[in-house]
Structures are given as C-alpha cells and as structure tokens.
Structure 1
Amino acid sequence: MTDNKKIGEVQIANEVVASIAGISASEVEGVDSMAGGITNEIAGRLGMKNPAKGVKVEVKGDTAVVDLAIYLKYGYSIPKISAQVQEKVAQAINSMTGLKVERVNVRIAGVSLESQQ
C-alpha cells in the first residue's frame, strides 16, 4: 500500500548542498583541494575540516547554481578535470537532494605541486 499523503515539508540548507558539492569535487582525480578565504585557511591549519570551503550555492525553488574554487594538481588537463568536476557535482547534488543543478561554475584558483591538505 502506498500512501502519498504529505505530512510535512523538507528543507535542505544551502550549507548542506555546498558540502555535497565540495566533497564530490574533491573526489575527482586531479583536484588537489578546495580554495577558500583566510578564515578557511586558518581553520584548516587548526585541523578543522570544512567540506563547503571554496563553494557558494544559490538555491531557488527546486534548482541550484554552484560556484566552486579549486586547486588542481600539476600536470592534469584543466578543461578535462573541470568538466569532470561539473558532472560529478551536478550528479551528486541531484541524486542526494533531488535539486536540478542549473550550472556548476568552476574557478581554477591555482595549481599545486604538492597536496595542501
């Protein structure tokens, strides 16, 4: 028996969507780390992890726009890795939240010789 009666509302915070985006982007081979501001750099040096570092999310209704800033490992193709990040982030957000991802904008903040983690 299926009961389609709605008993309440589910709201997903922008921070949750940003965390999903940051984690999924970090899983792409060639991505060294997410870029963040000075606050994130200090937190990172103190050992605090922030999966939403370098991620800005705007959710309107059932659509999302994601802006990411990442560091790539030296030697990887920037266009190829950027496209993989866009695809992986969009798929992860859609499958975990049901949101339609309108855009995933990727900014390459730098290229790293060694991991900054």
Structure 2
Amino acid sequence: MIEEELNNVEEVNIPLEDKHVGQGAIEIAPEVLEIISGITVNEIDGVYGMQGSFKSGVNELLGRSSHNKGIYLNSTDNGLSIDVYCYLKYGASVPKVALEMQTKIKEQILFMSDLEINHINVHVVGLVTPREVEKHRASLAKGMEDQA
C-alpha cells in the first residue's frame, strides 16, 4: 500500500544550491539519495536486511542488487525526509541501531550531495533470529549447488 502511493508520486530531480553562479545547474535524481541511504544502512551492525517489494525481489533473483530497497524519499514543503523499512538481527538494540541509521544517513547524504535531510523515520518491520539466518544461508547454498 505504501509502495503504491510512493510509486504514483512523480519523480522530480532535486536541484542543488548554485554556489558557483554561472556554471550551470546540478540536479540529483531521488533514486540516488535512496541508494546512498540503502548502502549506508546495510553497513550498520545489527541490520539484517531491508524490506523489499515484489520488484526488488525479482531483481535479486535475476542477480541484480537493489540498493534502494526499503528506502523511500519524500519531498515536501518542509524539506526532504526518508523512511527506512528494515529487519534487525535479534539481540540488537533497536534504539541504538535506529539512531546510528539516522546519523549515518544524514552524514552520507550531506557529504555526497550537500543536501540536508530533515527527518529520517526508521520502521523496524521485524527481527531475524540466528536460526532464521542459518536457514536462509542453507537455502542460498542449496540454490547455488542446484545452479552448478
């Protein structure tokens, strides 16, 4: 439901502030900011993975990684905000991991695009137990054996 609403939103490039007058415009596609956020989140200890859509699941089956999976950028009159939908590893401190996500996403986007993000909303949609991690690894290994 959320993805349907977000997919219906017209994608408009985000212009950067022109600090060097007369050199031309610089714009960033919203997907670029989502990818920066996705890569940043996946590097944080305690994050198991991101909540994906059917489209991102099919892409992964075809061998294409979807770095912006589970990341949604919103542009309003109040500025830019990001919603992160993720799964955490069981035993991770939810507040600590969420705060680290918010801090690192803001830092990376500011560093890479010179854009300020007003809000980063972290939605923990599930916890993954060590047993589930092992089942997932075993199924991946079996899938690799079947392909060979």
What TM-score do you get using the length of structure 2 for normalisation? 0.70
Structure with more contact order per residue of length (Cα contacts < 8 Å, sep ≥ 6):
1
1:110 matched to which residue of 2? 126
Q: Deviations over 1:68-99 (max 9, x none)?
A: 10111111011110111111111111111011
Report the AA paired with residue 52 of structure 2.
G
**Structure 2 unaligned runs (5+)?**
1-19, 138-148
Please report how far the alpha carbon of residue 7 of structure 1 lies from its aligned counterpart in structure 2 after TM superposition. Answer: 1.6
SS at match of 1:76: coil
Pairing 1:29–2:45 present: yes
Letter in 1 for 2:46: G
**1-structure distance, mates of 2:85, 2:62:** 21
Shift in CA distance, 59/12, structure 1 to aligned 2, threshold 3 Å: farther
More helix as a share of residues:
2
- Deviation, 1:34, is 1.2
Structure of greater Rg? 2
Matches within 5 A, 1:89-104: 89-104=105-120
- 1:58 Cα deviation from its structure 2 partner: 2.1
The residue number in structure 1 matching 2:99 is 83
Unaligned stretches of 5+ residues in structure 1 = none
Q: How many residues matched?
A: 114
Retained in 2: the 8 A contact 1:64–1:101? yes
For 1:77 and 1:5, locate their aligned partners in 2 and report how far apart those are by CA, in whole Å: 46
Measured after TM superposition, the shift of residue 60 of structure 1 is 5.4
Structure number with the higher strand fraction is 1
CA contact (8 A) 1:14 1:57 kept: yes
- Which residue number corresponds to residue 38 of structure 1? 54
Q: Flag as ranges the 4+ runs of structure 1 deviating above 6 A.
A: none
SS of 1:48 mapped into structure 2: coil
- TM-superposed deviation, 1:46: 2.5
Q: Secondary structure at the match of 2:85?
A: strand
CA RMSD of aligned residues (A): 2.1
Give me the TM-score of the superposition, normalised by structure 1: 0.87
Identical positions, percent: 30
